[in-house]
Every structure is written in C-alpha cells, then in structure tokens.
Amino acid sequence: MGQYLPILMLLVLAVVFAALSFFASRLLAPRRPTAAKSAPYECGIVPSREPPERFPVRFYLIAMIFIVFDIEIIFLYPYAVIHRELGGFGLVEMAVFVVAVFAAFVYLIANGALDWGPVKHLRRVDPRVSTSRTAATTVRRVGLEGREPETGEAA
Amino acid sequence: MVELTWVIPALPLLGFLLLLAFGRRLGDPLAGWLATATVGGSFAATVVVFLGLRGADGGDAHRYTQTLFTWLPAGGFSVDVGFLVDPLSITMCLFVTGTAALIHLYSIGYMHGDEGFSRFFVYMNLFVFSMLVLVLGDNLLLTFLGWEGVGACSYFLIAFWHTKEANASAGKKAFVTNRIGDWGYLVAILLTFFALGSITYTDIFAGAGGLATTTATAIAVLLVIGAIGKSAQLPLYVWLPDAMAGPTPVSALIHAATMVTAGVYLLTRMNPVIAQASPWVSTTIAVVGAATALFAATVAVAQHDIKRVLAYSTVSQLGYMFLAVGSGAYVAAIFHMVTHAFFKALLFLGSGSVIHGMGGEQDMRRMGGLRALMPVTAATFIVGWLAIAGVPPFSGFWSKDEVLLFAWEKHPLLWAVGLVTALLTAFYMGRLVFLTFFGEPRWRRAGTHPGGEAEQSAAEVADDGGGATSTATAVTAVAAEQEVHPHESPWTMTVPLVVLAGLSLLGGVINLSFLSRLQVLEHWLEPVVEAGEHHLDSSSGVKLGLAVVATVASLVGIGLASVLYLRRSAADRPAEPDILLEGWHYDQAVSAFAGGPGRRFFDATTWFDRHIVDGAVNGVAALIRGLGGVARGLQSGYVRSYALGVAAGAVVLVAVFVLRGVAL
Amino acid sequence: MTLGLLAQAGDGVAPIDTPGVAWSALSPILVLIGGAIVLLVVGALAPRRSRIGWHAMLTVAVAGGTIAAVVPLWDRVHDDGPYSAVASAVGVDGFSLFVTVVIAVAVAIAALLTDGYLRREGLEGPEPYVLMLLSAAGAVMMASANDLIVMFLGLEIMSIAVYVLAGLHLRRRRSGEAAVKYFVLGSFSSAFFLYGVALVYGATGSTNLVRIARFLAANTLADQGLLIAGFALLLVGFGFKVAAVPFHSWTPDVYQGSPSPIVAFMASGVKAGGFAGLLRVFVATFGTYRLDWQPVVYGIAVLSLVVGAVLAVVQTDVKRMLAYSSINHAGFILIGVQAATDEGVTAALFYLAAYTFMVAGAFGVVTVVGRRGDGHHHLDDYQGLARRQPLLALVFAIFLLAQAGVPLTSGFLAKFYVVEAAIEARSFWLALVAMVSAVVSAFLYLRIVLVMYAGAGDGADTDPAAGRPRLAVPAAAAIALVVAVAATIGIGLVPDPLTRTARDATPELVAASD
C-alpha cells in the first residue's frame, strides 16, 4: 500500500490546488458590477432573455496551440537535463520532434491562427452560402441541406 | 487437327470484342453478319476438330487436353485454363455452335430495326463464348466460369428490353434463382478439391473410383443442386417461364437449346462421381426429372401465350433429360439434348417468326389460320411439332424412346410418368399448332378479310373474354388491328427454320436404337460415360413394345388435340359469329374431357406455380427485407445507443471468453 | 531504465542505453510522415487554390515513394528473412510490407478522388492530404508493430486523423455529425483496446509481441482469466476499427456523412490497418491460444456476414448500402482470420488487396454521382445512369459485381480463397454462411446495377434523366477509376502475382538481432 502513497498525495494536492486557485480568484478580485457591465454584450441593447454563454472559438484554438508548446517544453526540459547521457540518439530524436512541431507552427501562422483582430476570410465564400445573417440568430447560415440552390440570396 | 481447339471459343470472343469496339459503327445489319460469321467459323473449327478426333484411334486417343496457360498456380491449388476435347464435349460443341450459328443468322432478320441491334449481338457472341468455355473447360472451375458467364449473358438478354419493368424483374428473378444453384456448384468444387486434390476432369475420372461413398454422395448432391438451378427443374424452375421476356432468338438459343442443358451436361460430365454416390442420389435425380416433366407439361396445357407454352415445354423436356440421367442413361440424355436442341430451337424460332409476322402478338387466342400466309414457317413448325411429340421417324421419337426405355428399367412408375408426359406433350403441342396455324383466323377483324363481319367479330372479342382479361385484351386488339398483316418472314429467318426442320426430321439417325451397329452416338460417347452408364437388359420384345406404346401415346395426344381444336374449328369455320366463342368452348371442352377436375388440376398447377413456387422465391426476398427492417430499428442514429451497443458487445465478448475459459 | 537512473545519481556522464534506430526499416513510415510534413508546410505557404492539383500529385508521389521504399525491404526480407528493428518494436516481414503497399495504394486512389471533390465543393487546401498521409502512416505502423504499445500508437495516429477527415466538409452538417460520432465511439473503443493491452501485459509481463508469443508458448498459465479478458478487449478495439458486428453501428452513419473520397480511404486503408493489426496480434502472437479466441472470431464473422448482407438489402441510400456491404466484407476477411492458418492469412491479405481497389473505385463513382454538395446518394439518383453516362455506369457495375463475387473479377477469387481457407480449417458451417450471405448481398449489388440499367422504371413518360446535368468526371478521378477497374479485372484474370506475393507475406515475429 505504501508504494501508492505518493500518488494519493499527488491527487490530494492537485485537488487542493485547483480549489485554492478557484476560491482565491473569487476572494481577491475586485467586484464592482454595474448593469451594463454584467450584460453579455455591451452593445447598448438590453437583452430580452437570458442568453447562452458564448465566447469566440478562437480561445479554444489558442488553448490548443498552447498545449502543443506546453508539450514541447515538457519534452525539451528533461532532454536539456540529460542530453549528454542520451548522446546522438537523443539529438536526432529531438530534432525530429522539433521539426514536426515547427512545421505545425508554420502551418498555424500561415493560416492566421495567431492573428488577432477582425475575422479574415481565408478564402472566398461559396456564393451559395449566405453571408447575410438570419433574423433568429446571429449565426450565419451555413450548409447546403434544405436550401434552394442558387437562390441569389447571397447578393 | 485437334490443335485447333482454341479457335472454337476464340472466334466468338473475337466477335464479341470487335462488336464491343465497332458494333455501333457497323450497325444494322453488318454487326449481325459479323457475329454470324464468327459463330459460323467456330462451327467450322468444331467440325475440323471433330474430324480430327474421329480420325484418331485407340485408347485415350479420343481425349485431348489443350492447356493454354496456368490461371491459379502455386501451392496445392492449381488451376489451368485448358480445354478438354473428348466425344462428349465435341458433341456438345457441334450442336451448340451449329444451332448458335443458325440462330444468329435468324436474329439478323428478327432484330432488324431494333435500336439495340449491335448490343444484342455483343451479348449473343459473349454468350456463345461462355457456353463454349463451359463445355470445353478441362476443370470444374473453368466450367463454372462459363456457367456464370452464360448466366450473366442470360440476365442481360432477358432484360434486353429493359425499359419494361417486368423484364428487368424477370432478369432479377433469373439471377437470384440461379445463385442458389451456383452456390451448390461452388461448394461441390471445393469438396471435390479436398477429396481428390484436383478439380481437373481427367483427375476426377481417374480418382472417382476411390472416393468414399459419403463424399461422392455429398459432391453429387451439390452438383445436382447446381444443375437443378441451371436446368430449371423443380423447385428452381420458376425463372425460365419468366425469362421469355427476352427476344425470341434468346429464348431459342439460351433458354431452350444450350444454356439450360448445362446442368445435364455437368451431371453427365461428372457421371463417375454420381456412379460412386449412394443409389438414392440417382433415384432422386430421376424422380425430380419425372416430376418436373409431368408438372411442367400439365402447366403448358393451360397457357395462352405461345412462348410460355414452349417455355414450360422446355422445362418438361429438361425433366426428361434429368430422368435419363437419373436412370443411368447418359447417352440417351445427351441424345435427347441434341434432338431437343434441334426441334425446340426450331419451335422457338418458328414462334418468333409467327410473332414477327403478327406484329408482336403472342396470344394464341388471337392467331389461327396462319398456315396459308406463312407457309414455310408453318411447314417447318409442324416438323418440329411432330418431332417433339415423338412421332416416328422424327428425331424426337428416337431420343424419347431411349429415355423411356431406361426409365422402364429404373422403375415402371417412372416410365408411366414419362409416358403420360409424352401424351400431354403431344396434346399441348397439338393444341398450339392447331390454334396457331389452323382454324379460323382470329386476328383479322377489319378490312382485308373478304368475309368481313368486322363489327361483329370485334364485338365478339369484347364479349368472349368474359372475365378480367376482356377489356384489356379487347383494347389492345382494337389498337393493333390496323397493323396486323401476317406475312412470311425474310429469308434470313426462314433458312434457319428449314435447316433446323431438316435436322429435327433426321436427327434421330445419329443413334437408331434398333440395330447396335447404328447406335453411333452410343459407341462414340461410351468412353466418357462408361462409369455411370446403365446397361440395358430388356429383351428386344420389351423394347419394341415400349416403343409402340410410346408411339400410340403420342398419336393419342395429337388425336385428342385435333378432336378438340382442329376438327371442330374446321367444321365451324363457315359458322360466322360464334367462332371466337367456340374457341372458348374448346377450352371448356378440355375441362369436360379431363373430367372437370382435370381442368381444375391444370389450373391448380398453374396456381401452384404462380403462388407457391413464385411466392417462395419472393417470400425469401420479403423475409430478408422484413428482417432488415426490424434490425434497422436498432440503427437509431444516437451516439449513446451505438456506444451502448459497443459496450454490450464488449461485455458479451468478455463473458463468452471467460466462460469458455472456465469451461475448459 | 534503472541504468539511466543510476547514471543520473552519479556525477559521471554514463550514456543511457538507447535503442539503435534502423532508419531503413522505418523508411515507409518515414516517407509517409515526411511527405505529410512537407506537404503541410509547403501547402501553408503556397496559395490554396491552383489550377494543377499539386497537392494530390504530391500525395500520390509520396504514396509511390512509400511503395518504392518497400521494394528494397522486400528484397531483403526475401533474401535474409524477416527481422525487427528499434528494440524489437517494429517488425519488418512480408506481411507488414504487403499491407504497407495496400495502404499506399489506397492513399493514392483516395487522393486522386479527393482532388476533384475539393474543387467541386470549394474546399481546396492541403489538409485532407496531410491527414490522409498521417493516417496511412498510423495504419502502416499498426501493420508493422511488434509491440502492443506501438500498435496502439499506430491505431490512434490512424484514427485521429480519420476523425478529422470525416468532418472535412465544413458546410455539411452530416459531415460534422459523422466526425463527432466517429470520434466519440472511436475513443470509446480505443479505451477498450488500451485496457486489453494492460490486461495482456499483466498476464504475460510484456507488451512486446515477440516476448508474449514466446512466453505463451513456453509457459502454461495457471489462471488464464486475465489473458482471456485481454483477448476480448483487444478484439473489441480491432472489431471496431474493421467494422465488425456488434461493433459496427457507427459505420453506416459515418460512411454516409463523411465526404465520399474520404470514405474510399476509410473503407480501404483504415480497414487494411485494422485487419493487419488483428492478424498480427491474434494469429501471429496469440496463435497458441487459438482455441480460445477462434470461436469468438467465428461468431463475429457470422454476425458480420449476416447483418451486413441483410441490412444492406433494405437501404435506399447507396452510401449506406456500401457501408453495410463493407461490414459484410469485413465478415469475409474475418473468415480468413478465424482460420488462423497460413492459408487464412494469405486469403485475408488477398481479400484486402482486392477489396481496396473495388471499394475505393466504388466510392469514387459515388463521389462523382454525389454532385455538388455531396448529397445525391439516393438510389433514385442512379436511375438511368447507364443511358446518360454508359461508361461511368459500366465502371460502377464492374465494382459492384466484383464485390458480389462474380467470376473473372478479383472479388470472386477473394471470396473463393477465403472460403477455401475456412474449409481447409474445417469450418464448414462458416463457409456455408459465407456463401449464403454472398447470395443475399449479390441481390443488393444487382439492385443498384438494375437501377442504373433499368432506367425510367414504370414511368416512361417522365424521364428522370432529363433534368439532370451531365456528371463531370475530373481527370484525376478518371485516372483513379481506370486504375481500380484495371486492377479489379486484372487480378481476376491473372491473380497469380498477387497470390504468390500474398503467400510470401505471412506475419512472422522475430526478435531484434541487435
């Protein structure tokens, strides 16, 4: 049983750390809410109903890119510690790894994953995908199912 | 000269390829001539090979294997693409290429003006090629290839006019039914391989004697299943009558003369294995054959469509061949196959000529009196009729007599069934001939007829049908009446008829049974079938007696038919308005003749055919659909239920594994 | 490992015992991954649209390079026998090389089909090709893995790339749905697989297939429970990847929703990878315990054969039909697995190779017929195709008939060999079920063929073909279809080279000599 004790302790520590950070932010952050501030969109229009919580999908992208670099660090740090012991083998392996990550990085930058600002269209929008927004939601209508072909709505 | 064997199938293949590439450009009728020329050349090559084989003498000289290349080599399972030329295969080749050439010639006239003219000949040449591969293949797998090939061509040709939904579904039915038979054949191949280590015929002949009875029985039963499917025997015959949806030359070539006899060929080819199997196998074959022969003959009596009569007649005659095979009369089976090819091809082509002349009409109730207008067709048709009815000295008499003789030795009951079938055959064929070529023309209702009670006759048409058919038939009849001008067909169609009529008349000479010296076919085929051939021990008196009885039966059948359909019709010809009504009276007279229940019996067999047998085939399809529909409910589209399914499967798997582990 | 720790404890720089990497042995995988990376970078920097489809060309070139990399390895295996590399983690034998070639071919055909598809849907970009190459690399890794961990790695690389590919069509909701379904269920099954790996490790003390095989041959386990449960869970993982009943439920939805050229790859490449792993783990490694797992595989094979054939008959969507028929085909290949003999493996490999061409070609035609929006997959859309585009209809008919097992096509021989192997292994009933299911599924293929050739059906007055535009067959797709047809017919006519090759390609587990 004793051999599992460190794992148990790690588990407890992880839970405690998460809980602590959560409460700490609550306690420490200044809270001076006004009606306009707590509205989901600061656009001047008073929302008529409780909106679903939304935030740009871009955040996910950033989070994922972060994880990639996180993993790179996790790999690189131990390697830096024992790179002598690993010798040539380690160097080659790391090179392979870094090349792969770098290639992904180039791809991300080239596709504008790190551009922050107004949405840039990567390519011309298919004319049959409506660029106008529907009345019901703010989401642009996409997809071709159930749509009359070539309605000319796009114009 | 036997080295030329490869030419026999190569020529139709060449024709097929040429037509595939240039068929459209050649057009009508050049494409037809090209196809005919290649098949004719194939026939010539067959004759050359035949003469070469004939000339060789002694021992194994009558068997020649030509290996082209190794198809599936390596390891224990090796298959060559090679041709086996022996008396059996060359006999088959002779009549296959011969009738095929004639039917190709005929088709040039028959298909003239059809938009699919060149496509038709593409399929036809492919069919001939496949059939020759089937016959000449030196191993079971190659034969199977041909077997599938002819099947495929058959579906294509049945559905040739595929714009009609019924034709497409007929093609589908043929496919599904045949698949059941193919399955039996395929398993038989595998079993043969595991029992003998080879599927080459020469090895099979050599090794069959050493087979265990159970193994041989299993192989034989599976082969019989395959043969039943292909040769349209009970209970898998349903596809053949429906297959008449195709063009008539197709019916003549594929569904009468050649393809459907493939089952009989296969059983004859494998006779050493059947000889090694339990006796009940051959008895089963004989019983299936006899039952099919009788059943189909009774159904044929009640048909109105001229091609359906011939279709059921084909099923019935194939039953004869099965009866022969089951009785150990392989020579007689092949003999009957050859003569049947002649006269049935003739009859089908004749009916095609009639249909052609009548502008597409197939209902015998609206024919009659065509004898004078289509003299060649009528004369040749009558020859075919007498041949199938078994009237001496026409070819059918000799072959049918042989079959019946062997059936007698197998069991008198089988003989009796065969005899009744012979009587019925003579009867329904007589009915067909009298309704079509004799009596009062029933297609003529307006204009040209000098006797001209046009209005009245047309009114009769509307009246006489009485039941469900009346309105529909009357409408089509009226619509067609302007166009119906029966005429004799062009020479490309009549020449094949005449040649086939000659063969039907004289075909019997290849195996005249009364003198041993004259039994040419029997001596010729002897080395191939010696393992399975039953040897007759009846005295010549019995033989003669049986022949006389059979002849009498045929004559009685013809006589009955003429009483019911010919004489009355002739007598009533002057009597005007009732003539078509009388036509119906004849059918009622049939009921009266057969004693009331007779008619009901015929109807019942038709009903049985339509509902039970057809229903069984459709039912299986429906059952599968039903099952699928139920199972489809499980496919809800929800990930959670799929995950549940995967998890449940995993649990079951673990449980099975662990429980088995515990049990062990 | 202990050595490394000790070295760290001391001050001296003692080199860690690192495995020698035989780069040559990994060359097929390296070519695939390297090609993917190059394509990714170049594709990101170059404009997305171009008149010549160089993305697809490069992908085909990479696939060709993979095959070229296999050739010297094949020769070496042929001369010196199989060997393994990277501390016995990767095996190089005829089996892995054969499957590698099959997968490379699948990639090449799928890439050719994808090009036209992407242009038609306005989705141009290098991503699909990159993902396809990565997925193929994973599949190759599965085929050559000599270690359960490596196999899992391969499985995940292969699968994750395909999950994304399934959702390739951004504007089709079904495509996204397919991706999510595939991802959720796929991860679920991967968990089973991983658990199975753990249990097998617990029972045998190793994840290395060579060592496991040796261990099982040398020792008799007092308690087999752990090992057997491991078998079951591994089988769940493989069964899911190859779409065998009862782990098939995702197949119709995912096949229907995913972009058609991607399905061509899924049904050929991914399936090949899954079966390669299955054969490697069960037949080659757990061969001594075959009496334990054979009956279960037998059952799965029977279920797949029956369910695949029967359910396919009631579908009206051609993609779903082909999905069910792929389940049926999985059942056939499982027959070869179940036999657990060299003949069985040969037959399964032959089947995989033949099936790759048939199914990729079939989905190629589906891609073309699907038209813009990839939504025209109902049977009605095929009505009268023979009249409008006889050549396309003929090609599709050939693929369908080959799948039905019509002689003179590769499909017939594939089925024949599998059934032969089953009979040789004395599984007569399985052979019978297989043949019956072949009959039932023949009905299904014929249904499509008849719809294409029967044309207007009953209503001759309204020709459904009238209002339809002529389908454009892109040049790349045409090349793919021609190749697939040529292979399907060619293998059917002259199967000898393939048979011979497949016979040389039975898996052999060899420990590393280094």
Per-residue pLDDT of B505-525, as tens digits, reads: 888 778 776 666 667 777 788
Domain for residue B621, yes or no?
no
Q: Which of B208, B22, B33 is nearest to B112 (CA)?
A: B33
Report the residue of B653, B656, B659 to disrupt the C interface, i.e. the one with the largest count of C CBs within 10 Å: B653
Domain for residue B212, yes or no?
no
Q: Which residue has the tokens 């089509």?
A: B476
pLDDT confidence of residue C379: 85
What average pLDDT is seen over chain B? Answer: 77
Q: Tell whether C15 is within 8 A of chain A (Cβ).
A: yes
Test C375 with A86 for CB contact under 8 angstroms.
Answer: no
Report the residue of C195, C238, C249 to disrupt the B interface, i.e. the one with the largest count of B CBs within 10 Å: C249
Q: Tell whether C310 is within 8 A of chain B (Cβ).
A: yes
Question: Which residues on chain B are in Cβ contact (under 8 Å) with C450?
Answer: 159, 168, 171-172
Domain for residue A52, yes or no?
yes
More confident residue, A49 or C304: C304
Q: Which of B178, B629, B176, B183 is nearest to C310 (CA)?
A: B629
Task: Give the number of C-alpha atoms closer than 13 A to the C-alpha of residue B345, restricted to the C-beta side.
Answer: 38
Shared domain for B516 and B656, answered yes or no, is: no
pLDDT confidence of residue C225: 80
Question: Which residues on chain C are in Cβ contact (under 8 Å) with A142?
Answer: 170-171
| Ramachandran class of B236: left when φ > 0, alpha when ψ lies in -120 to 50, beta otherwise | alpha
pLDDT confidence of residue B606: 63
C106, C165 Cβ separation under 8 angstroms: no
Q: Which element (helix H / strand E) includes B85? A: strand B79-85
More confident residue, C339 or C6: C339
> Cα separation of C156 and B109, whole Å?
66
For A101, the closest chain C residue by CA position comes to C37
Query: Mean pLDDT throughout B548-574?
Result: 71
Q: Select from A89, A103, A123 the Cβ nearest to the Cβ of C41.
A: A103
* Percent of chain B surpassing pLDDT 90: 3
pLDDT confidence of residue A126: 54
Query: Mean pLDDT throughout C34-50?
Result: 88
For C301-332, the pLDDT digits (tens) are: 999 998 888 888 778 889 999 999 999 999 99
Taking CB atoms within 8 Å and a gap of at least 24, the contacts of B582-588 are: B583/B365, B583/B435, B583/B442, B583/B464, B584/B464, B584/B466
Test C174 with A84 for CB contact under 8 angstroms.
Answer: no
Work out the burial of residue B653: count CB atoms within 10 Å of its CB; fewer than 13 is exposed, 13-18 middle, 19 or more buried.
buried
Which positions 6-45 of A are in contact with C (Cβ < 8 Å)? none
pLDDT confidence of residue B464: 38
pLDDT confidence of residue B615: 64
Test A107 with C173 for CB contact under 8 angstroms.
Answer: no
Report the residue of B129, B169, B186 to disrupt the C interface, i.e. the one with the largest count of C CBs within 10 Å: B186
Structural domain tally of chain B? 3
Q: Which element (helix H / strand E) includes B434? A: helix B412-437
Q: Which chains reach chain C with 3 or more Cβ–Cβ distances below 8 angstroms?
A: A, B
Q: What are the structure tokens assigned to C101, written together?
A: 């070639």
For B364-392, the pLDDT digits (tens) are: 777 777 777 888 888 888 888 888 888 87
Instruction: Name the amino acid, one letter, at B635.
Output: Q
Cα–Cα–Cα angle for B193, C279, C424, rounded to 5 degrees: 15
Q: Tell whether A70 is within 8 A of chain C (Cβ).
A: no
How sure is the predictor about B633, in pLDDT bands with cuts at 50, 70 and 90?
Answer: low
pLDDT confidence of residue A117: 65
* Residues 6+ away with beta carbon under 8 Å from C229: B654, B657, B658, C196, C199
Domain for residue B61, yes or no?
yes
Test C246 with B643 for CB contact under 8 angstroms.
Answer: no
Least confident of B442-451, B462-471, C180-189: B462-471
Domain for residue A7, yes or no?
no
Q: Which of B538, B566, B593 is the last residue of a domain?
A: B593
Q: Select from C14, C15, C45 the Cβ nearest to the Cβ of A110.
A: C45
CB pairs under 8 A between B and C: 162
Reported ipTM exceeds the 0.85 cut = no
Count of C-beta atoms within a 10 Å radius of residue C117: 26
Mean pLDDT is highest, among B441-455, B566-580, B648-662, C62-76, for C62-76
Which positions 459-488 of C are in contact with B (Cβ < 8 Å)? 460
> Cα separation of B38 and C23, whole Å?
60
Q: Select from B642, B648, B657 the Cβ nearest to the Cβ of C231.
A: B657
pLDDT confidence of residue A41: 65
Least confident of B40-54, B253-267, B453-467, C355-369: B453-467
Domain for residue B190, yes or no?
no
Query: Mean pLDDT throughout C331-356?
Result: 92
* Residues 6+ away with beta carbon under 8 Å from A96: none
Domain for residue B454, yes or no?
no
Report the residue of C310, C439, C489 to disrupt the B interface, i.e. the one with the largest count of B CBs within 10 Å: C310
Shared domain for B303 and B413, answered yes or no, is: yes
pLDDT confidence of residue C241: 92
Test C188 with B643 for CB contact under 8 angstroms.
Answer: yes
Q: Tell whether B59 is within 8 A of chain C (Cβ).
A: no
Domain region containing A106: 16-110
pLDDT value at C19 more than 80: no
pLDDT confidence of residue B609: 58
Shared domain for B533 and B659, answered yes or no, is: no
Residue B84: strand pairing partners: B65
Report the residue of A125, A144, A145 to disrupt the C interface, i.e. the one with the largest count of C CBs within 10 Å: A144
Shared domain for B650 and B555, answered yes or no, is: no
Test B646 with C419 for CB contact under 8 angstroms.
Answer: no
Test A82 with C8 for CB contact under 8 angstroms.
Answer: yes
How sure is the predictor about C33, in pLDDT bands with cuts at 50, 70 and 90?
Answer: very high
Q: Which chains reach chain B with 3 or more Cβ–Cβ distances below 8 angstroms?
A: C
Least confident of A112-126, B82-96, B241-255: A112-126
Q: What are the structure tokens assigned to C426, written together?
A: 């004395």
Domain region containing B95: 1-67+83-138
Count of C-beta atoms within a 10 Å radius of residue B162: 20
Q: Tell whether C242 is within 8 A of chain B (Cβ).
A: no
pLDDT value at C279 more than 80: yes
> Cα separation of B517 and B520, whole Å?
7
Q: What are the structure tokens assigned to B77, written together?
A: 């399972």
pLDDT value at B209 more than 70: yes
Question: Which residues on chain A are in Cβ contact (under 8 Å) with C49?
Answer: 123
Query: Mean pLDDT throughout B456-473?
Result: 38
More confident residue, B467 or C448: C448
The maximal CA–CA distance of chain C, rounded, in angstroms, is 92
Question: Which residues on chain C are in Cβ contact (under 8 Å) with A80?
Answer: none
B504, B343 Cβ separation under 8 angstroms: yes
Shared domain for B530 and B662, answered yes or no, is: no
Least confident of B47-61, B545-559, B606-620: B606-620
Mean pLDDT is highest, among B87-91, B167-171, B446-450, C10-14, for B87-91
Least confident of B86-90, B248-252, B485-489: B485-489
Calculate the alpha carbon distances from C231 to C17, C201, C278, C300 in Å.
33, 11, 11, 14
> Cα separation of A122 and C48, whole Å?
9
For B419-460, the pLDDT digits (tens) are: 889 988 888 888 888 888 877 776 654 334 443 333 333 333
pLDDT confidence of residue B248: 85
Question: Which residues on chain C are in Cβ contact (under 8 Å) with A123?
Answer: 48-49, 122, 124
- CA–CA min distance C168, chain B (Å): 19
Q: Is B70 helix (H, G, I), strand (E, B) or coil?
A: strand
Test A126 with C171 for CB contact under 8 angstroms.
Answer: yes
How sure is the predictor about B572, in pLDDT bands with cuts at 50, 70 and 90?
Answer: very low
Q: Tell whether A111 is within 8 A of chain C (Cβ).
A: yes
Which positions 40-99 of C are in contact with B (Cβ < 8 Å)? none
> Cα separation of B294 and B360, whole Å?
30
Cα–Cα–Cα angle for C183, C189, C192, rounded to 5 degrees: 145
Q: Select from C185, C424, C494 the Cβ nearest to the Cβ of B646.
A: C185
What average pLDDT is seen over chain C? Answer: 86
For C208-225, the pLDDT digits (tens) are: 999 999 898 888 877 788
Q: Select from B187, B624, B652 the Cβ nearest to the Cβ of C310.
A: B624
Q: What sign has the CA pseudo-torsion C218, C221, C226, C229?
A: positive
Q: What are the structure tokens assigned to B446, written together?
A: 């307006």
Query: Mean pLDDT throughout B619-634?
Result: 67
More confident residue, B418 or A44: B418
Structural domain tally of chain A? 1
Q: Tell whether B17 is within 8 A of chain C (Cβ).
A: no
For A74-115, the pLDDT digits (tens) are: 888 888 888 888 878 888 888 888 898 888 888 888 887 777
- CA–CA min distance C8, chain A (Å): 8
Query: Mean pLDDT throughout B402-410?
Result: 87
Q: Parallel, antiparallel, or unpaired for β B64-72 and C83-85?
A: unpaired
Least confident of B229-238, C85-94, C173-182, C227-236: B229-238
Domain extent listing, chain C: 21-503
Q: Are there at least 3 beta-carbon pairs closer than 8 Å between C and A? A: yes
pLDDT value at C457 more than 50: no
- CA–CA min distance C443, chain B (Å): 7
CATH number at residue A23: 1.20.58
Domain for residue A91, yes or no?
yes
Query: Mean pLDDT throughout C229-244?
Result: 92
pLDDT confidence of residue B470: 38
For B656, the closest chain C residue by CA position comes to C296
pLDDT value at B465 more than 60: no
Q: Which of C367, C369, C448 is nearest to C401 (CA)?
A: C448
> Cα separation of B55 and B50, whole Å?
8
How sure is the predictor about C462, in pLDDT bands with cuts at 50, 70 and 90?
Answer: very low
- CA–CA min distance B286, chain C (Å): 27
How sure is the predictor about B60, in pLDDT bands with cuts at 50, 70 and 90?
Answer: low
Domain for residue B585, yes or no?
yes
Q: Select from C224, C236, C252 the Cβ nearest to the Cβ of B653.
A: C236
> Cα separation of B281 and B272, whole Å?
13
pLDDT confidence of residue C141: 94
Domain for residue B450, yes or no?
no
Test C247 with B144 for CB contact under 8 angstroms.
Answer: no
pLDDT value at B403 more than 90: no
Q: What is the DSSP string of C96-151?
A: HHHHHHHHHHHHHHHHHHHHHHHHHHT--SSHHHHHHHHHHHHHHHHHHB-BHHHH
pLDDT value at B617 more than 50: yes
Least confident of A61-65, B248-252, B635-639, C37-41: B635-639
3-state SS track over chain A: CHHHHHHHHHHHHHHHHHHHHHHHHHHHCCCCCCHHHHCCCCCCCCCCCCCCCCCCCHHHHHHHHHHHHHHHHHHHHHHHHHHHHHHHHHHHHHHHHHHHHHHHHHHHHHCCCCCCCCCCCCCCCCCCCCCCECCCCCCECCCCCCCCCCCCCCC
More confident residue, C243 or B519: C243
Q: Tell whether B187 is within 8 A of chain C (Cβ).
A: yes
For C357-413, the pLDDT digits (tens) are: 999 999 999 999 888 878 888 888 888 787 788 888 889 989 998 998 877 789 988
* Residues 6+ away with beta carbon under 8 Å from C392: C365, C368, C369, C385, C471, C473
pLDDT value at B220 more than 60: yes
Test C16 with A87 for CB contact under 8 angstroms.
Answer: yes
Question: Which residues on chain A are in Cβ contact (under 8 Å) with C14?
Answer: 85
More confident residue, A2 or B503: B503
Q: Select from B71, B176, B641 the Cβ nearest to the Cβ of C443.
A: B176
